[in-house]
Structure 1
Amino acid sequence: MFVISLLQDAVSVLPETQMKNQGEVLRKAIEEKYLNKVVVNCGLAVAFYELRRIQSATIRSGDGSARYKVEFSLVFFRPFQGEILEGTLMHSDSHGLRISLGFFHDVYIPAAALREPKGFNAASERWWWGFEDHELEYAPLQQAIRFRVQEIRFDQALADGNGGAGTQELVAGAERMGLAPMVVLGAVDDDGLGMKTWWQ
């Protein structure tokens, strides 16, 4: 679910901080720039890992800030394809389900990735899975749900809308809810997946 990635960037340090511990000042500047933000093809930056290399700085005219070229590692949230995760059901509509992991709220299960046989109750806006003679609902909200990671999409891929069955509808639903720069697409189409209460 978490990976460490190596990055390179140029980081500016203000004159009043240049006499302090260089490593700490650069670390804080990197954390301020990256943490809790999405880096395309890396994921959501959640923690600083290490400062690997600092190259000589150039002084910028005007404000006197020093610009360092740095190489550093960050911990990113980027789940693996096929990984089983547990989250909280946050929203349900005709396009599918939205799930939160607590620190990340943009997990979507498109209708096409729900377990068959299935149906949608338009009045309650709830999906159900037909098991024997029962209609097991994806409900109530705020309850635990297990899903399998199918794909990670960043904003460019979502804007293209070139996915498989149900993806364009899912993207339309995501846009209505405020599209994020990174979206995890999942599925609940196998044993052990879906509402946690189903399997207890």
Structure 2
Amino acid sequence: MFKLAILEDTLRISPERFSLPKFDALSYTVHKKYSNRVLPGVGLCIGLWDWLKSEEDYLQPGDGGSWTKVTFRLLVFEPQVGEIIIGRVEHSFSEGLYVSLDFFNNIFIDRLALQEPSIFDEEEQVWIWKYQGHDLHIDVGEDIRFRVVKVAYDNFGKSNVSTGAMIVNGSIAGDGLGLVSWWPN
């Protein structure tokens, strides 16, 4: 679910940050550029982990800042297909469920990936698993265990750092999956 990604970039330290220690100024730049953004094929960047390499600073004509080529590791969130995760049901509608991990909300469980048989109650706006004569409601706010079935990246431009989306598709069709309260420890 979490991993360390190695990145190489040339970062600009603006003149107003010259009074800071070099790596504090570089850390600020990394966080501003990468934190809470999605890198296609890498994942959602959480933050700087550590520095691996730094070259000499250099100046560019007509620019008051300094530039430094660096290699660093970022902590990123990218769930793997087949991984089991516990989240919280955020929204329920006739096409499925949206799940949140607090820091990440683009998790969708399609109606076809629910326990069988499940029905959607339009009046209550809730999915109900019909299990051996019992109606098990999937209520908003409940903890839900799901399996990751797909991770996709969408709406990216030409930049390798974007505010595009990482979309995780999950499934609760299977033993032990669904609301945590359904399954005894």
Length-normalised TM-score, structure 2: 0.88
Separation (CA, whole Å) in 2 of partners of 1:152 and 1:78:
8
Separation (CA, whole Å) in 1 of partners of 2:181 and 2:2:
27
2:146 is aligned with 1:147: yes
Asked whether the equivalents of residues 106 and 180 of structure 1 are also in contact (C-alpha less than 8 Å), the reply is no
Separation (CA, whole Å) in 2 of partners of 1:38 and 1:186:
19
Deviation at 1:181, TM superposition (A): 0.8
Deviation at 1:90, TM superposition (A): 0.6
Q: SS of 2:105's equivalent?
A: coil
2:121 is aligned with 1:137: no
Larger displacement relative to structure 2 (53-62 or 127-136): 53-62
What are the superposed Cα offsets for residues 74-125 of structure 1, whole Å, 9 maximum, x if unpaired?
A: 0101112111111111101111000111111111101111111121222222
1:88-99 paired onto structure 2 within 5 Å: 88-99=88-99
- AA aligned to 2:173 is D
Q: SS of 2:27's equivalent?
A: helix
What are the superposed Cα offsets for residues 163-191 of structure 1, whole Å, 9 maximum, x if unpaired?
A: xxxxxxxxxxxxxxxx9611111000011
Larger displacement relative to structure 2 (58-67 or 85-94): 58-67
- AA aligned to 2:58 is T
Q: Runs ≥4 in structure 1, deviation > 4 angstroms?
A: none
The structure in which a higher percent of residues are helix is: 1
Asked whether the equivalents of residues 145 and 178 of structure 2 are also in contact (C-alpha less than 8 Å), the reply is yes
Separation (CA, whole Å) in 1 of partners of 2:135 and 2:20:
64
Separation (CA, whole Å) in 2 of partners of 1:151 and 1:93:
20
Could you list the runs of 5+ residues in structure 2 that have no partner in the other structure? 157-162
Deviation at 1:55, TM superposition (A): 2.2
Separation (CA, whole Å) in 1 of partners of 2:38 and 2:155:
13
2:179: which partner in 1? 195
The structure in which a higher percent of residues are strand is: 2
- AA aligned to 2:141 is Q
Paired residues in the alignment total 178
Length-normalised TM-score, structure 1: 0.82
1:123: which partner in 2? 123
Going from structure 1 to structure 2, the CA distance change for 1:121 and 1:64 (only over 3 Å counts) comes to: same
- AA aligned to 1:124 is E
Could you list the runs of 5+ residues in structure 1 that have no partner in the other structure? 158-178
Asked whether the equivalents of residues 27 and 51 of structure 1 are also in contact (C-alpha less than 8 Å), the reply is no
2:71 is aligned with 1:87: no
Asked whether the equivalents of residues 148 and 186 of structure 1 are also in contact (C-alpha less than 8 Å), the reply is yes
What are the superposed Cα offsets for residues 8-58 of structure 1, whole Å, 9 maximum, x if unpaired?
A: 112111224335422222122111211111111111111211111122333
Q: SS of 2:56's equivalent?
A: coil
Asked whether the equivalents of residues 38 and 164 of structure 2 are also in contact (C-alpha less than 8 Å), the reply is no
1:1-200 paired onto structure 2 within 5 Å: 1-18=1-18, 20-139=20-139, 141-156=140-155, 181-200=165-184
Superposed CA RMSD:
1.9
1:168: which partner in 2? none
1:165: which partner in 2? none
